[in-house]
Chains A and B, each alone.
Chain A
Amino acid sequence: MAEGVRPRVKAPRSAEAGEVVMIKTLISHKMESGQRKDSDGNQIPRSIINRFVCAFNGTNVIDVTMEPAISTNPYFEFEATVPEAGEFQFTWYDDDGSVYEDAKPVEVG
């Protein structure tokens, strides 16, 4: 499902060097589990976001393998260390091959 999928990220705009900050991410996605049936009784095929990655200046922060049991509009909250000024990169990978991205710059000092 590539329509209407929107990522949202909450990350601080600035931090001290080496500070641990909280990051929240939300992406609007139906996460069709593959368990539901349509009105004719046919199984609706699975179509989910199967992986979420957060990196800072190219170094990995967290890499989440996602299964159909993650709720609609996947939400993640985690912590990251900010070693220096730079940018958080967020990437979501869809079963259908789509890739959704967002980025947040962070100042230090």
Chain B
Amino acid sequence: MNFSRRETMALGAGALAMTMLPVQAFAATGDDAIAEFTGGADVMDGGVTLTAPEIAENGNTVPISVEAEGATAIMVLAMGNPTPGVATFNFGELAGSQSASTRIRLAGTQDVVAIAKMADGSFAKASQNVKVTIGGCGG
């Protein structure tokens, strides 16, 4: 599997190959995004809460919320989307709390990840698997 991926990417047909690979392949870019945000620092579990439905009614509009007390920023990623970035919430001086809610698009069943950057420079992570289904009546 690895060899053929490198070969095809070298041929510049990477885009085509990526569409045929399982969803895990996109996680590579998700991990890159996390590394960029954290600068490679360790990420603890806990310290950030991610609320998302277990089963999304429709992948086009999925309500989520994040909260991390004492965070300066929270980055949200959809690890299985074609591009994993979803949003980064940067909290200013007049933020009433380090929390936010929004509605996002999920291309399929996948892990949604929230990484919080804390005021002391450390990082915290939460992850939840969200099932995205195909409707029966024409989607």
Partner-B contacts on A (CB < 8 A): 20-22, 33, 35, 55-56, 59-72, 74-81, 83
| Contact yes or no, B94 A56, CB < 8 A | yes
| Contact yes or no, A71 B92, CB < 8 A | no
| Contact yes or no, B92 A67, CB < 8 A | no
Count the A-B residue pairs with Cβ separation under 8 angstroms: how many? 100
| B61, B95, B107: the one within 8 Å of A61 (CB) | B95
Provide 9 A-B residue pairs closer than 8 Å at the C-beta atoms, listed in order of the A residue.
A33-B105, A60-B93, A69-B83, A72-B61, A75-B103, A77-B65, A77-B100, A78-B99, A79-B97
A22 vs B95: C-alpha distance when bound (angstroms): 10
A14 vs B49: C-alpha distance when bound (angstroms): 30
Q: Mark B75-88, 1 if CB is under 8 A from A, else 0.
A: 00010011101111
Q: Interface size on B (CB < 8 Å)?
A: 30
Chief secondary structure at chain B's binding surface: strand
| Contact yes or no, A79 B96, CB < 8 A | yes
A92 vs B63: C-alpha distance when bound (angstroms): 20
| Contact yes or no, B100 A62, CB < 8 A | yes
| Contact yes or no, B92 A59, CB < 8 A | yes
| Contact yes or no, A70 B102, CB < 8 A | yes
- Contacts A71-B104, A74-B102 known; A20 to B61 CB distance under 8 Å? no
| Contact yes or no, B94 A61, CB < 8 A | yes
| Contact yes or no, B97 A64, CB < 8 A | no
* A9 CB to nearest chain B CB (Å): 15
* B105 CB to nearest chain A CB (Å): 5
| Contact yes or no, A64 B90, CB < 8 A | yes
Chief secondary structure at chain A's binding surface: strand
A22 vs B100: C-alpha distance when bound (angstroms): 10
The residues of A that contact B86 with a CB separation of less than 8 Å are: 67, 69-70
- Contacts A59-B94, A60-B94, A79-B96 known; A67 to B101 CB distance under 8 Å? no
| Contact yes or no, B102 A77, CB < 8 A | yes
Tell me which of B60, B86, B87 has the highest count of chain A C-beta atoms within 10 A of its own C-beta: B87
Tell me which of B61, B81, B82, B94 has the highest count of chain A C-beta atoms within 10 A of its own C-beta: B94
A21 vs B91: C-alpha distance when bound (angstroms): 15
